[in-house]
Structure 1
């Protein structure tokens, strides 16, 4: 069947309806598989597992990764190393499945640096019907007056002063595309627990997706997201996450008394304080 071309009037009227139906089209064309901990498959999830030694002293600290649409785990496991489907430090203990519908929103913060004056758009849509499946292709051209920021088909031709940011965040064409871009970027990074760690990799991927309309993901809100909304895989995951901490705490109290708890509290305060300070006050220290 030949492509059906709509007039500009119909396109503008129909453009609003597309937002309402896009979620259903997404699920029909790209269905996610089931979460299967036995096969280590967690489609579109952020996953977490405790770290040796560090989690024994601070159980809220662990190793995180982000999963592709097929459920394979990607994690920044060491300098110049992003593991694929080989989660470092053990099996997944905690996970949170993210909503792919939230990656297609254009974040408001994306446009804040620019003064937009009466933007106009043209949408060209072709619908092909084959085997009772509908595939929709969109080309959205934003035209701004007075040479304001625009998004050409080829981002290398972008002339905005902040074009380097646009090639990093909010420009992924799919979930897996963002993860692969993050993977290539972190394959040239040196791992450091305090400045460039696994949380940095996950936040970088979410920023590329502009997930939930934000490009301000960082190590802190990734950790909070996992701990407030994450689910335990099973009861044994809870045991192996907290049993070493309780054991070390009991032994420490027996050997050093209550001063051991004061030392652990000081350690946690310094660790949390470092990340709060670097994320909120000294941006750029933690990647």
Structure 2
């Protein structure tokens, strides 16, 4: 009570001599609130959050800190090499992937070791401690998609959700799980990640894990194409192109035209 009276008296004196001190005194309550609440609550920037250094990517294919990893699918990738199985790694490099119905695998990537990887920048994520601490432009949509206070928290939340989902290559697959995690992170300021733009991101910006990874991913497709041309002629390549077009068209319809069909 005494402090309040003192502030009023100082304000009265300041207003008679110079209006500038009065404006400064009006700022005192706000400064006190900011000091009491702490930087982590009042600040809306990820710069205040400590992000410890990540380990190096293991080129042998075992640890991928904050990376999206890709591996070819048997049979399907032989006909459409751009289609594969993806997972996302925690900060310690352990890979998590939606490997089957009601099952998120940890440190055991389904369908073999990774062939491609893309390391993501945690500074492009949004880790809001509360509704006022969003750094992304789509705070409302981010809250609806689900938020996280750290990278690993987003992955754990996504895993808990997909542990109650049925796996289906055409409607709910490994890309759906990784896209859900990216939406919880609001990576790149976006909460519109889906199976299509995720696949494009991995293929356009991802890196191969050595020459053998390229061979393992593309050689079966080349072998099938050569054998098919020898046995059925060039019409086989037309059939493969039609298969790829139908598959791509399905996901375009499921993601953009009939929303909810592909999760």
**TM-score if structure 2 supplies the norm length?**
0.79
1:41-60 matches, cutoff 5 A: 41-60=63-82
Residues 45-86 of structure 1 show CA distances to partners (whole Å, capped at 9, x for unaligned) of 000000100000000000000000000000001111110000
Structure 2 residue 153 is matched with structure 1 residue 177: yes
* More strand, by proportion: 1
Question: Structure 1 residue runs of 4+, over 4 Å off?
Answer: 18-21
Give the secondary-structure state (helix, strand or coil) at the position aligned to 1:37: coil
Change (3 A) 1:228 1:39: closer
Contact 1:107 1:215 in 2 (8 A): no
- Aligned partners of 2:46 and 2:100: how far apart in 1? 42
- Aligned partners of 2:256 and 2:177: how far apart in 1? 18
- 2:16 corresponding residue in structure 1: none
Which structure is larger by alpha-carbon Rg, 1 or 2?
2
Structure 2 residue 181 is matched with structure 1 residue 205: yes
- 1:109 corresponding residue in structure 2: 138
Q: Size of the alignment, in residue pairs?
A: 224
**TM-score if structure 1 supplies the norm length?**
0.73
Shift of 1:282: 0.7
What are structure 2's unaligned runs of at least 5 residues? 1-27, 127-133
> Which of 64, 71, 76 lines up with 2:93 in the alignment?
71
Shift of 1:102: 1.1
> Which of 98, 116, 120 lines up with 1:98 in the alignment?
120
- Aligned partners of 1:94 and 1:222: how far apart in 2? 13
1:69-148 matches, cutoff 5 A: 69-104=91-126, 106-111=135-140
* More helix, by proportion: 2
What are structure 1's unaligned runs of at least 5 residues? 1-5, 113-164
- 1:268 corresponding residue in structure 2: 244
Shift of 1:211: 1.1
> Which of 50, 68, 71 lines up with 1:26 in the alignment?
50
Tell which has more relative contact order, 1 or 2 (C-alpha 8 A, sep 6+): 1
